[in-house]
Amino acid sequence: MTTIDDPLLSARGPEASEPDAEITLAFENNRHASLVFGLYDQNLARIERRLRVASFANGNHVTLKGRAESCEHARRVLEALYERVALGQTITLGDVDGVIEETARQRSLFPDSEPTRGAFEQILTRKRGSVRARNAAQDQYLRALKRYELVFAEGPAGTGKTWLAVGHAVQLMEQGAVERLILSRPAVEAGERLGFLPGDMRDKVDPYLRPIYDALHDFMDARMVERGMQTGLIEVAPLAFMRGRTLTRSCILLDEAQNASSMQMKMFLTRLGEGSRMIVTGDPSQTDLPPGQKSGLSEAIALLAELDVVGRVRFSEGDVVRHDLVRQIVGAYERAARASKPPRRDV
């Protein structure tokens, strides 16, 4: 078999000289095979669209037809999905996309080696079990989170920046690497004026921090989250409440950081204490700050770009994993933004 640099691109390429191939797979467990194929064979349909192969399922058998390189790639994807199902893991369409990307990298880097080499990084938590990166950008992100004490992640909505950061924070706490989780967001309204909010402080800030709560409950049982918040192991607070503190042995996440001012960002970054990890996420294209006010996220990334002890990961529209339509929406807005920029004039 010919080794290529990018199996995904090759599978979609126009080459017609390679002869058609046919591969038949037979899985031992019928129930596991049906889970791999998906409801009404939706997982097989996703593989067909992504890799441009034809698949024909019959019981625990599936036949793949198409270009030899594409069929071989689809075979690896199905076998990897079967291994996950055999371990009791659930399979979603997003997982199918992730395995397609992961097997593409494995085959590109280690074409003749065992499937585990070159695998994407993963998060291990008690509730979710193993959560693996779905694309190269997420893999780079998880590797940066493990390596650096301060990591910046920028990119469009739906790329998993916040969700993976919360999962990594939960993993660190369950492993005993940190003692507390501190999750924060700037309390800035997204183009609206909410006015007076009734209740105590937690009731007032909950609307701003709800996305963090949602991610937290994905990785921890609700009773553990509530107990952690009551005992101080988990703290969810607006950015303004970080001033004057020194945060030690903690994993600190600042989400929606594009809405932090320059002074707020400087204040937040200087809270980092001994034995702590800090993660800053945001989308510079969705700033809700008043007109003329500089985003602290873009400024901090530029100022700290030359520090080799700081990690930085940039996501693009192609890394959106939330929904196929979300990826297309983000792409449409980015194309419109590029088209509206005035052309540069050489002086």
Q: What is the CATH number of domain 125-340?
A: 3.40.50.300
- Over residues 81-95, mean pLDDT: 86
Look at 102-111, 294-303, 326-335 and tell me which has the smallest mean pLDDT: 102-111
**Alpha helices in the chain, H assignment, sequence order:** 7-12, 30-37, 42-51, 68-86, 93-109, 136-147, 161-175, 201-219, 222-231, 262-269, 296-303, 324-340
pLDDT for res 198? 64
pLDDT at 191 over 80: no
CB 108 within 8 A of CB 5: yes
pLDDT tens digits for range 22-53? 899 999 999 999 999 998 899 999 899 989 99
pLDDT for res 14? 41
Distance CA(78)–CA(312), nearest Å, equals 33
Smallest CA-to-CA distance from 104 within 51, 143, 66, 67 is with 51
- Reported confidence tier of residue 19, pLDDT bands at 50, 70, 90: low
pLDDT for res 288? 81
Homologous superfamily (CATH) for 7-119: K Homology domain, type 1 (3.30.1370.10)
pLDDT for res 253? 95
- Can you tell me which residue has the tokens 């079990």? 129
pTM: 0.71
User: Would strands 61-67 and 20-26 be described as parallel, antiparallel, or unpaired?
Assistant: antiparallel
pLDDT for res 190? 46
pLDDT for res 271? 92
Which of the pair, 277 or 207, is modelled with greater confidence?
277
- Can you tell me which residue has the tokens 């980092």? 272
The DSSP H or E segment spanning 135 is: none
Distance CA(35)–CA(171), nearest Å, equals 28
pLDDT for res 134? 84
pLDDT at 114 over 70: no
Percent of the chain whose pLDDT exceeds 90: 41
pLDDT tens digits for range 68-79? 888 999 999 999
pLDDT at 101 over 60: yes
Average pLDDT, the chain: 82
Look at 137-151, 196-210, 291-305 and tell me which has the smallest mean pLDDT: 196-210
Residues with Cβ within 8 Å of 187's Cβ and at least 6 positions away in sequence, in order, are 205, 208, 238, 239, 240
Per-position DSSP letters for 245-303, written without gaps between them? --B-SEEEEE-SGGGS-HHHHHHHHTTB-TT-EEEEEE-GGG--SPTTPPPHHHHHHHH
Query: What residue segments make up the domains of the chain, in order of their start?
Result: 7-119, 125-340
pLDDT at 316 over 60: yes
Q: Any bridge partners for residue 63, and if so which?
A: 24, 56
pLDDT for res 244? 85
Q: Any bridge partners for residue 235, and if so which?
A: 182
pLDDT at 110 over 80: no
pLDDT for res 192? 45
Smallest CA-to-CA distance from 155 within 143, 137, 140 is with 137
pLDDT for res 142? 94
Angle at 237 between CA 249 and CA 208, to 5 degrees: 140
pLDDT at 347 over 60: no
Backbone angles phi, psi at 285, to 5 degrees: -85, -5
Smallest CA-to-CA distance from 258 within 304, 215, 301 is with 301
- Over residues 144-171, mean pLDDT: 93
